[in-house]
Amino acid sequence: MRYRDIYKKIDLKAPRTLNVVFPNSAPVFEALSEATKKGYIHTRLYGVSQNIRQLADSFALQHYELIPAQDPDEAAGKAIADIREGRGDALMKGDIATAAFLSPVLNREKGLRKGKLLSHIAVCDSPGYPKLLFLTDGAINIELDVDRKRSITENAIEFTERVLGEKPKVAFAAIVEKVNPKLPETGEAAQLAREFSAKGYPAEGPMALDVILNAEAAKKKGIVSAISGDVDLIVFPNITVCNFMLKQMIELQHAPVGGIIMGAQVPLILLSRSDRPSEKLNSIVLSLIR
């Protein structure tokens, strides 16, 4: 499956409502305009009225609703409250700090909590790999233990399975393929691989990245693997490694990329200021998959 196949999967009876928190930049409006033209979304824009109108006009964004808010905090609060009242199917970060965007989402009384943990799943269409790669978590969770990794994996599997229509092949990444007490992530990878294999998922770990991506590398190393070179989902040992992998795909391979946050009542679209409009559009499309 490639991104073009994801786009073909989108079959909406009516546009979904996307609540956008404090949009204030050209790339955001370019993506919103394109998604609106394709009939994917109806936008509710929360922010400074004059700025929104100017940018919406510049990019010919049609049929949007404007909800005035003087600052990002007010915008986030109103956008989340509207989703709780049924006025919104997904929440998208505009020009607002990530912490300011996620903090009200996590509010136990007024937020959008659902699962144990929010986590980010990136979907990459690398020209060097025969199908989509799903990577987690390179954006949110910094301090990880085995319980958090389990929750991250559950979120990622739920989304990946929804996209693919079948159980994903899951690799728990580490620097080596053997458990080493000096590398705690190797033991955690082995434990989680056993757990998810017992649930019926093709899961292996620890696996080094070359073995994950290339079946020939596994053969050369004498490693017997049922998923090497055919992995769908990579669960990384920490946020840094996952983020580096994602950024090198974007910057060096120019791979189409998008991402979604799972674990809330609705999909969350968390964008970087450096994301291209195409990456923002891909993320919007990912939020439409149910």
The 10 Å Cβ neighbour count of residue 58 is: 12
Fold annotation for 12-114+264-287: Rossmann fold (3.40.50)
Asked, colleague to colleague, whether 12-114+264-287 and 121-251 share their fold, the answer is no
Greatest CA separation for the chain = 63
The CATH number assigned to the domain with range 121-251 reads 3.40.718.10
pLDDT of residue 115: 74
What are the boundaries of each domain within the chain? 12-114+264-287, 121-251
Of the CA atoms within 13 Å of residue 259, those in its CB half-sphere come to 23
Q: Write out the DSSP string of 73-122.
A: HHHHHHHHHHHHTT--SEEEE-SS-HHHHHHHHT-TTTS-B-SS--EEEE
Residues of the chain with pLDDT under 50: none
Q: How far is CA 33 from the centre of its chain?
A: 21
Beta bridge partners of 207: 173
pLDDT of residue 62: 87
Residues 6+ apart with CB under 8 A from 121: 134, 135, 136, 137, 155, 156, 159, 160, 259, 260, 261, 262
